[in-house]
Chains A and B, each alone.
Chain A
Amino acid sequence: MTEILKFFIGLTVLTGALLSLVTAFGLIRLPDVYTRNHAASKSATLGVMLVLLGTLLYAYQDTGSFHSRLLLGIAFIFMTSPVAGHLISRAAYNSGVKLWGNSVRDDLAKHRKK
């Protein structure tokens, strides 16, 4: 029982860490603010949620009691991290940060002109 649980904890924690690495690659390699924000606000959220899920399982099998603070942390990060990404992306658009040169559509600018 406990060895299988340890295997799953290691798997979730390692998957979360690899998703954090994917976030860093996205932030280094993508060309403008909006695509970088797309990389950061999705994969970082899923990565940290997986790591916290592994920690929740470990705390359950180590102490035998259920730590609801970790569940609360997972729910809180799941709710607030995309909202923070949306707010900073909207602030970037309204403060006049240009899109990538090769991007072909900007529906918001067309809509604002009307």
Chain B
Amino acid sequence: MFEIVLMISLFIISLAMLGLIYRVIKGPTIPDRVVALDALGINLVSIIAIVSIFLKTTAFLDIILLIGILAFIGTVAFSKYLEKGVIMERDRNS
């Protein structure tokens, strides 16, 4: 029963990721695509959590933190690029 519930929730998260991939492909503007990619990263975290329940291991818990940090840094860098045109500015006096 427990495994069946976990399987169902894994299937539901996979459906949600397919919907997000649809938005990444079709999204009319670039911020749409960035929002959908950020949500994809967040959903990937929950997929890894459920798979680590399935495999009865705790070795993947670092990967959860790592994907959270990488999704945040990627979104911050891309929003800075969209807003200013550069990610790291060169002049220090402004």
Residue of B nearest to A49 (CB): B46
Task: Determine the chain B residues whose CB is within 8 A of the CB of A27 once the complex forms.
Answer: 19-20, 23, 35-36, 39
Given contacts A40-B36, A52-B46, A84-B72, contact A72 B31 (CB under 8 A): no
Which residues of A (35-87) have their CB < 8 Å from a CB of B? 36-37, 40-41, 44-45, 47-48, 51-52, 54-55, 58-59, 62-63, 67, 69-70, 72-73, 76-77, 80-81, 83-85, 87
- Across-interface contacts of B71 in A (CB, < 8 A): 84
B68 adjacent to A77 (CB under 8 Å): yes
Cβ of B43 and Cβ of A44 under 8 Å apart? yes
Complex interface: chain B residues within 8 A of A52 (CB):
45-46, 49, 64
Q: How far is the CA of A107 from the CA of B2 in the complex (A)?
A: 50
A91–B82 touching, CB < 8 Å: yes
Determine chain A's interface SS by DSSP, over half rule: helix
Q: What mask results when residues 43 to 64 of chain B are scored 1 for a CB within 8 Å of chain A, else 0?
A: 1011001101100101001101
Q: What is the number of contacts between chain A and chain B, taking CB atoms within 8 Å? A: 171
- The answer to whether B83 touches A91, judged by C-beta atoms less than 8 angstroms apart, is yes
**Does A102 reach chain B (CB closer than 8 Å)?**
no
Q: A24-B20, A48-B46 are in contact. Are A10 and B39 (CB under 8 A)?
A: no
**Inter-subunit contact A37/B35 (CB<8 Å):** yes
Name the CB-closest residue of B to A96.
Answer: B29
Cα-based distance from A76 to B62 in the complex (angstroms): 13
Taking CB atoms, residues of chain B closer than 8 Å to A14 are 5, 8-9, 12
With both chains docked as a complex, state the minimum distance between the C-beta of B3 and any C-beta of chain A, in angstroms.
Answer: 10
Closest approach, in angstroms, between the C-beta of A87 and any C-beta of chain B? Answer: 4
Chain B interface (Cβ within 8 Å of chain A)? 1-2, 5-6, 8-10, 12-13, 15-20, 22-23, 29-32, 34-36, 38-39, 42-43, 45-46, 49-50, 52-53, 56, 58, 61-62, 64-65, 68-69, 71-72, 75-76, 78-80, 82-83
